[in-house]
Structure 1
Amino acid sequence: MLGGCGAPTPHTADTGAPPTAITVGIMPIPDCATIAAAQQKGYFTAEGLRVTTVQVQGGGIALPKLESGELQFAIMNYVAAIQKQSREPGVIKLVTDAYQAAPNAFVLMVPGNSPLKTVSDLHGKRIAVLTLNSVGTLTLEAALKVAGLTKHDVHLSEQPVTEMMNLLERGQIDAAWMTEPFISAYYAQHGGRKLADMMTGQTADLPIAGWATSATFAKNHPSTVLAFQRAMQRAQADVAADRGLIARLLPTYTKIDADAAANITIGIFPLDLAPSRIQKVADLMLEYDYLADALDVRPILMPPPPIPTTPSASILPPPPASRRHQELTP
């Protein structure tokens, strides 16, 4: 039965062989709960993998590390992956899905005493994002368009998400594109306020990120890729079906405590790496000039094998609105 109640069954052909060591790039965000689940439940060990994780700032930072072999897999936002494919076809492969947007899981935050009230007020303001030309800037541009603005009307800068709260409080930036657990942390520690949900309108339910490897590694180590996919699919199904598991895992690889982890907004953990969903990202990128020409996402996808048993609740529903989220909502 899927879910980790019993010992996982190894898929490696030679269980006496030493485990294959891989290094995986992660971020301190909910998207990466699947890695923590796979480690805790022994799914990597069962597949003959010994996994070391290192933190990366974003997909754009992880890409050269994948190409050099410093990383074998990494969390990768779909915007970065699709841009890479448009510029250098055949360099990157996406091997499993990771995360999809849900309401209030990705928001633009401002200080509690900020005079900014709507996105229209951002003209001339300084906005921090994790990386430029990413899912952060793409969704921000969509929000700016609705408000009658463009990216040229604001000042964008790359900042580590771990530093955004301090930059906001010191007045060095006016707004920050944040995800959990930093949204909740900023609210709790400094009274930060949500200016706008970044995943509404044409960005609602937007696929956010998957797990990537280099095409070279996928070609030269197909059995390792398959082992990684199998372990991740089992863990993805577990976190998709159990919000409590995510809350327990978050404190193990982020600075969020257990109480806060129980109340943050969680997105969706898809199981299928479906081209029809991920194509939405490429089409949106074309509209906002992130791509010069239309791009078919199918060549960069390596769909994982189906999991043995699909859990009854394979997609995590949004939790009931907490008092914090009611207060965050303007």
Structure 2
Amino acid sequence: MRRPLVGLTATALVLSAATACGSSQSSDTSGASEKGGSTTVKVGVIPIVDVAPIYLGKEKGFYSKRGIELDLVTAQGGAAIVPGVVSGQFGFGFSNTTSLMIAQTKNVPVKGVANGVASTGKEGADFGGVVVKKDSSIKDAADLAGKKVAVNTLNNIGDTSVRESVRKAGGDPKEVKFVEMAFDQMPAALDNGQVDAAWVVEPVLATAKAAGDRVVASNFVDVAPDLTVALYFTSTQFAQKNPDLVKEFKEATDESLAYANSHPDEVREILSTYTKIPAATLSAITLPSWPTEPNRASLETLAELGRTDGVLTTAPDLDKLLP
């Protein structure tokens, strides 16, 4: 079930995770349970195209052949998944890289395990972007200054990257007014005038385009070529107590990422099992890139932007964070 988190910022959620770190975990397999020679692992994910590889890998048996049974649980965004992983609710989680960097700089014990998803690096042909209504007066990213823009979580990779789009287009990024809401609520909010623009990712992007909405910024592309957008991660406690499980999870995830990259038709098919996108829209989805290794240079740029905009107060230690 989707957990509504409107009104909570990423920073507040990360602070709650830091509080959770003070309690001891009850067993060596928090977020996981053993049964019949295999280990069932709860993984926090978001119902968007980014996580198609893990659903595909589960279907193809990449995890089960390594003794791992996945229990995939959805949440609104990475900022919500971080405290779930740290508290032991999940063994692993999927989160955007800004959430993980925020967590680490606040001494929340998170550790990247495997790559998650990356931008295509193609302007106007990425799996995410900022959309406006067809008849909107907003023509480019500079016009977003002074406007309400929806993002799935505040103080995160969405608003950080959108600000960079505005900055590069010559607008004032400080003047953008961000509104937090779930991705699947954004098209309606845009249509009824609740917001002026929305940062969306697939499959919501395809839905918005089908309704006639226009893309005015490819915000991931504006940050860096081939931006590493998200990672699969765990808590440092879980990694220390379950090194073999973490190793097997990484190997299965790497296999899933590679398979997804080379089987786009199967990716589109698996999307219909965990999203509500109409079958007719599946072919219109722009798929992201799923490399097995993160692009460190892109994350260094993202961290710099986070500090420029005040999302990060100190520089993250990428050596400790990255897989």
The aligned counterpart of 2:181 is 159
Q: 1:60 aligns with which of 79, 83, 90?
A: 79
The aligned counterpart of 2:133 is 111
Q: 2:165 aligns with which of 119, 143, 146?
A: 143
Q: 1:78 aligns with which of 97, 112, 116?
A: 97
The aligned counterpart of 1:170 is 192
- 1:86-105 alignment runs, 5 A limit: 86-88=105-107, 91-102=109-120, 103=122, 104-105=126-127
Once residues 212 and 293 of structure 1 are traced to their aligned partners in structure 2, the CA distance between those partners, rounded to angstroms, is 21
Residue deviations 1:92-130 (CA, integer Å, cap 9, x gap): 011000111123321111112212212222232111101
Once residues 200 and 123 of structure 1 are traced to their aligned partners in structure 2, the CA distance between those partners, rounded to angstroms, is 19
Once residues 201 and 125 of structure 1 are traced to their aligned partners in structure 2, the CA distance between those partners, rounded to angstroms, is 19
Once residues 21 and 118 of structure 1 are traced to their aligned partners in structure 2, the CA distance between those partners, rounded to angstroms, is 47
Q: Percent of counterpart pairs with the same letter?
A: 29
Residue deviations 1:300-324 (CA, integer Å, cap 9, x gap): 123xxxxxxxxxxxxxxxxxxxxxx
Q: How many residues align?
A: 286
- 1:142-221 alignment runs, 5 A limit: 142-188=164-210, 190-221=211-242
- 2:283 partner letter: A
Q: Does the CA contact (< 8 Å) of 2:223 and 2:302 recur in 1?
A: no
Q: Does the CA contact (< 8 Å) of 1:101 and 1:267 recur in 2?
A: yes
Q: 1:244 aligns with which of 262, 265, 268?
A: 265
Once residues 147 and 57 of structure 1 are traced to their aligned partners in structure 2, the CA distance between those partners, rounded to angstroms, is 29
Q: State whether structure 2 residue 296 is matched by structure 1 residue 278.
A: no
How does the TM-score come out when normalised to structure 1? 0.81
- 1:58 partner letter: G
Q: Does the CA contact (< 8 Å) of 1:206 and 1:280 recur in 2?
A: no
- Displacement of 1:17 after TM fit? 4.7
Three-state SS of the structure 2 residue aligned to 1:200 is helix
Once residues 299 and 143 of structure 2 are traced to their aligned partners in structure 1, the CA distance between those partners, rounded to angstroms, is 32
Tell me: CA distance 1:107–1:273, structure 2 relative to 1, closer, same or farther (3 Å). closer
Once residues 258 and 247 of structure 1 are traced to their aligned partners in structure 2, the CA distance between those partners, rounded to angstroms, is 9
Q: Does the CA contact (< 8 Å) of 2:128 and 2:200 recur in 1?
A: yes
The aligned counterpart of 1:307 is none
Once residues 237 and 142 of structure 1 are traced to their aligned partners in structure 2, the CA distance between those partners, rounded to angstroms, is 30
Once residues 208 and 48 of structure 2 are traced to their aligned partners in structure 1, the CA distance between those partners, rounded to angstroms, is 14
- Displacement of 1:274 after TM fit? 5.2
Once residues 201 and 140 of structure 2 are traced to their aligned partners in structure 1, the CA distance between those partners, rounded to angstroms, is 19
Q: Does the CA contact (< 8 Å) of 2:149 and 2:177 recur in 1?
A: yes
Q: State whether structure 2 residue 37 is matched by structure 1 residue 18.
A: yes
- Displacement of 1:151 after TM fit? 3.8
Q: 1:124 aligns with which of 143, 146, 149?
A: 146
Tell me: CA distance 1:154–1:276, structure 2 relative to 1, closer, same or farther (3 Å). closer
Once residues 147 and 275 of structure 1 are traced to their aligned partners in structure 2, the CA distance between those partners, rounded to angstroms, is 25
Q: Does the CA contact (< 8 Å) of 2:41 and 2:68 recur in 1?
A: yes
- 1:69 partner letter: G
Tell me: CA distance 1:155–1:284, structure 2 relative to 1, closer, same or farther (3 Å). closer
Q: State whether structure 2 residue 314 is matched by structure 1 residue 293.
A: yes
- Displacement of 1:202 after TM fit? 3.8
Once residues 190 and 140 of structure 2 are traced to their aligned partners in structure 1, the CA distance between those partners, rounded to angstroms, is 17
- Displacement of 1:276 after TM fit? 4.5
Q: Does the CA contact (< 8 Å) of 1:139 and 1:203 recur in 2?
A: no
Once residues 59 and 307 of structure 2 are traced to their aligned partners in structure 1, the CA distance between those partners, rounded to angstroms, is 40
Once residues 88 and 314 of structure 2 are traced to their aligned partners in structure 1, the CA distance between those partners, rounded to angstroms, is 30
Once residues 149 and 17 of structure 1 are traced to their aligned partners in structure 2, the CA distance between those partners, rounded to angstroms, is 58
Ranges in structure 2 where 5+ consecutive residues have no aligned partner: 1-34
The higher radius of gyration belongs to: 1
Residue deviations 1:238-265 (CA, integer Å, cap 9, x gap): 0112212211211111112344222211
- 2:132 partner letter: V
The aligned counterpart of 1:43 is 62
The aligned counterpart of 1:309 is none
Once residues 276 and 231 of structure 1 are traced to their aligned partners in structure 2, the CA distance between those partners, rounded to angstroms, is 25
- 1:225 partner letter: V
Q: Does the CA contact (< 8 Å) of 1:282 and 1:297 recur in 2?
A: no
Three-state SS of the structure 1 residue aligned to 2:114 is strand
Q: 2:289 aligns with which of 256, 268, 271?
A: 268
Once residues 39 and 258 of structure 1 are traced to their aligned partners in structure 2, the CA distance between those partners, rounded to angstroms, is 22
How does the TM-score come out when normalised to structure 2? 0.83
Tell me: CA distance 1:203–1:275, structure 2 relative to 1, closer, same or farther (3 Å). closer
Three-state SS of the structure 1 residue aligned to 2:43 is strand
